[in-house]
Amino acid sequence: MSDEKTVEHKLEDGVGRVQDGAENLLNKEKDQAEDLASCSKSRAALDAVRDCVADQPVIAASVAGLLGFILGAVIARKS
């Protein structure tokens, strides 16, 4: 009788491990899909910024210079 119970417990443990492994695999797939979606959103934003800079380079350079000046002033003031 105890051998049957031992075998049943081992089978239940094995099935539990398989279920856990399948669940982990599905979670990894979901995470990878979310990462890819986030990556495509970032790429779209980068493309939009690149297009704006290509269309209006003088404004982009002016904004970058102004931000650099402000950042430099803040860093110099903290030192």
Residue 65 has pLDDT above 90, yes or no: yes
Share of the chain above pLDDT 70, in %: 87
Q: Residue 28 CB: number of other CB atoms within 10 A?
A: 10
Q: How many domains does the chain have?
A: 1
Residue 2 has pLDDT above 70, yes or no: no
In this structure, is the dihedral angle defined by the CA atoms of residues 39, 40, 44 and 47, taken in order, positive or negative? positive
pLDDT in tens, 27-43: 777 777 776 677 777 88
pLDDT in tens, 6-32: 877 777 777 777 777 777 777 777 777
Instruction: Report the predicted TM-score, pTM, of the whole model to 2 decimal places.
Output: 0.47
Q: By residue range, what is the domain housing residue 13?
A: 2-78
